[in-house]
Each structure stands twice: as C-alpha cells, then as structure tokens.
Amino acid sequence: MTRICVALDVPWERALKIVRDLYDFFENYPLIMKIGHKIYLEKGGDAVRELKEEFPYEVFLDLKLHDIPSVVGLAVEEISNLGADYTTIHLLGGEAMVEEAVNRKENTKILGVSLLTSHDESYLGFLKTTIGDIKEFVLHLVKIGLDKGIDGIVCSGEEVEFLKKNLDRDFIAVVPGIRIKKQKGDQRRVLTPAEAKKRGADIIVIGREITESKNPVYVVERALKMMGEI
C-alpha cells in the first residue's frame, strides 16, 4: 500500500476542518497528517497533541532539523515526547548529527531529507561537490543516513526507484512533489500519485491540491483511485 500524507500548510482552524472532513470519509484509511513550520509556529507542539488525541491518524512533524548534533538531538527528544510518529532531519547535517538524532528518537521515525524537490542538478554546482549526478549524490547521502539508523528518507519520485534498486535494505520512501494535475509550481521534480507508486514510493505527500480545494475529500479519493488503492 502506498499511503497519502496530507501537508497541512494552512492556518490551524482550516487544517482542523480539512482533517475532520477527511476523517468523515476516510476513517479506516491510514492517512498521515503533516505539520510543517506554518502550523508549528502558530500552535507549537499542541498541534501534534490535538491531532493525536482527536484522530487515529499518524502525525508527521516536518521541521527538517539541521544544526549542531546536540541541538538536533534535544529537538528530536522533544518531538518524540510530543508523540509525533515521524520527523525530518537534513542528511547534509553530517554523520554526527544524524547519529545523535537517531539516538534520541524513541518511538518517532526519523526521515532523512536528501535534496529538496525544489532543487535540480544546478544545486550540486552550488555545493561544489565532486559528484555531478544528482541521483548519485542522493544515494551517497541516503547510504550514510541508513548506516546511522534512520528509518526512511524523503526524496524525489525521480530518485526513489533508483534508490530502491541500489540499496539492499528496507526503508520508508516518502515522496513529496506529487501533483494530480502535473503543474510544477515551486517544485521542479514532480510526479502523479500513480507514477510515484509505480516507482516505489511508500508515502506520497500532497499539499496544496488538497488544502486549497473546495472539496478535499474528492482530491484524496481521486489520488487513491489513481494508485488503485480503492
């Protein structure tokens, strides 16, 4: 099963309405609700607690941590105490930072962010890395993360098939940049739900097409049908 994660990058009251509407129709489907910086800055950890108390869905607190190891470790510990099921760290933070996050995670799954889907090959030039191919660079980061014990990764749908074929271990592949109507917006590497599933995505992230829709239920239902999940 490829699961849908709803990116709730809207004001808190709007987010709650969306989750309630979806719950009325998808009570038994294991949706994941993602809280990013917008809601976290508005509600703090209470956003995670309230969603966990009211709904049966897993909560993904997506803060993309990147700091010195001790600071990230403390942050992960607090995120775990909140009850978040998933959180993210930047693999570019280095081995020591990743290791500290894993050591503090308790029951929270750590997802390593390789490269954001807003980046393309030109970003490697910015980093001045000797690895010139974006898939090989992502593979390098992911190998380090998995060696240090992360539970999964966040990567482009264009990379997930390559990674699944080139890594001889199980991991959760979370793919953002999903569009039912293939409009790129500010993300350069996008796929439809069906394409992402075919390439090996375990979780797909859909945001604005759901949160900006007058009928979020219809959008989620359409995505599930495209993947053959219902």
pLDDT digits (tens, 9 = 90+) for 71-122: 999 999 999 999 999 999 999 999 999 999 999 999 999 999 988 767 777 7
Give the span between the Cα atoms of 132 and 124, in whole angstroms. 7
Query: If DSSP codes are grouped into helix, strand and coil, which group holds residue 20?
Result: helix
3-226: CATH homologous superfamily? Answer: Aldolase class I (3.20.20.70)
Residue boundaries of the structural domains of the chain = 3-226
Bridge partners (DSSP) of residue 178 are 191
- The active-site residue out of 38, 64, 143, 198 is 64
Listed in sequence order, the DSSP H helices in 44-109 are 46-54, 69-82, 95-103
The 10s digit of each residue's pLDDT in 130-161 is 777 888 889 999 999 999 999 999 998 888 99
pTM value is: 0.92
Residue 22 to residues 34, 94, 193, Cα–Cα distance (Å): 14, 38, 18
Q: What is the pLDDT of residue 117?
A: 66
Quickly state the pLDDT bin for 171 (edges 50, 70, 90): very high
Active site residue 165: no
Residue 205 reports pLDDT greater than 70: yes
